[in-house]
Homo-oligomer: A and B are copies of this chain.
């Protein structure tokens, strides 16, 4: 089974990618042995996979419970997180308990944050069930919840002990969510590996059709790229910021639309096109490469334009993003496809980009343009 190690010293952990992992992967069983185990999932994913996972854990765990949260980014908040604490405390789970996160990015972020702060920190394992979660949140240890004034404003860095990316779970994933995951796959190629970018572009139809071998290969390579960046900058003090390519624009779109209207990956899709446009406008990237990125984003089934807002609205939304430092955001730009660059940008170029990339004649405000 393909696997890789995220190298973080004492906090290093393996990511295993493949089929049938939910039914009893040996390392998971070893971690769960004789412990109190809580499967944290949501009302959509739970009915599909939780019983299969519970069947494999029940014989080894000292105690097993399942906590099902409401589905969606709108519930990524403290009151929902508190349900996990209620359940764990109600069952008298101690500091040696293990949380198993079964679901997409929201479940992973919340279950991971619950593990980060329950009794000041317990172990957790991630079983991502969306492509986005497999290639993005499974590496890096970012956990957290949203606050009414901003996304992921309350959280922690807390590394899992193990990640199992079971590609079987992708067979039930809606096409729209698969596309959203492909946004991060495209991103990894764009910021770090031109050959991978080309390979993803060539395999796009098979990836969208759910081809297990193509998906496995993409998940492994994306996790490798992200793991390498994270290993060099665990706490996001510098290099790691390149993983935010497309995200400054993307977060503005998500926040402005209201969380959950656009999928995160959709916002990142449009955001990458905007960041590439800005890169081209500033002379860091050829127009032809910008066009190619735009075409690959479109081929993934993702929007290539932001909502039809005036530039001022975008600027206001971006200034509250947490990557901003005192209101002056730094942008991740491309220095050609396959290489990222971190820079502050002149406001006039930014405004011109926003005016060029917000859906105007091309699409109605509010509906992602594909």
Contact = CB atoms under 8 A, between A and B. Distances in A.
A213 interface: no
The quantity of this chain's copies bound in the complex is 2
Interface residues of A, number: 38
Interface string A286-328: 0000000000000000000000000000000001101011110
Given A147-B85, A147-B89, A155 B117 contact: yes
Nearest to A118: B154
A96, A120, A153: residue with the most chain B Cβ atoms closer than 10 Å:
A120
Given A94-B322, A94-B325, A325-B96, A155 B120 contact: yes
A121 B147 CA distance: 15
Contact of A322 (B119, B320, B325): B119
Contacts of A320: 89, 92
Contacts of A144: 117, 120
Interface in A118-149: 118-121, 142, 144, 147, 149
A218 B86 CA distance: 40
Nearest to A322: B119
Interface of A: 36, 62, 78, 82, 85-86, 89-90, 92, 94-96, 116-121, 142, 144, 147, 149-150, 152-157, 235-236, 319-320, 322, 324-327
